[in-house]
């Protein structure tokens, strides 16, 4: 028993099974690393295949999505209609209108947000997403 300061330390023999196997076989470090690397190569190839497949899938989905997306650009003074959402009070009944307005675009904000103005000149305080409005043609 060894004594360090006021604590007693009992030496114990600890064996790591994988190291014992390497010692029993008699492989040196370079051979062990090479054999371990050869075992891991098929796993790395499968992981790389999965990553490449995922990236190709994402690029195909992005391309397909971008084909159908039509960018909407609004300018101040342009006439638009605003979508009536199901949770709004105006959306009652089967034959209720889906759009309300016309409104005038008062200001265009970043990321597709728009501030609308009613036809009598009152400006809305809440911005609305450009996905919820469409151009109004007279």
Per 3-state DSSP, what percentage of the chain is helix, strand, and coil (rounded to 5)?
A: 40, 25, 35
Question: What single DSSP character describes residue 65?
Answer: H
* Assigned architecture for domain 79-135: Roll (2.30)
Rounded Cα distance between 13 and 38, Å, is 32
Residue 46: pLDDT above 60? yes
**How is the chain split into domains, by residue range?**
17-68, 79-135
| pLDDT tens-digit map of 103-133 | 999 999 887 899 999 999 899 888 998 888 9
pLDDT digits (tens, 9 = 90+) for 64-91: 988 887 777 888 999 999 998 877 666 5
Partners of 7 in the β-ladder: 4
């Amino acid at each position: 028993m060894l004594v360090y300061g006021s604590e007693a330390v009992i030496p114990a023999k600890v064996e790591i099974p994988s190291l014992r196997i390497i010692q029993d076989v008699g492989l040196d470090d370079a051979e062990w690393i090479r054999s371990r690397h050869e075992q891991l190569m098929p796993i790395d190839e499968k992981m790389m295949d999965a990553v490449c497949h995922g990236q190709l899938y994402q690029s195909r989905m992005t391309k397909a999505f971008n084909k159908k997306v039509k960018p909407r650009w609004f300018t101040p003074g342009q006439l638009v209609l605003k979508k009536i959402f199901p949770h709004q009070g105006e959306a009652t009944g089967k034959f209720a209108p889906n759009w309300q307005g016309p409104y005038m675009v008062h200001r265009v904000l970043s990321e597709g947000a728009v501030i609308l103005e009613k036809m009598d000149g009152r400006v809305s305080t809440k911005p609305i997403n450009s996905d919820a409005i469409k151009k109004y043609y007279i």
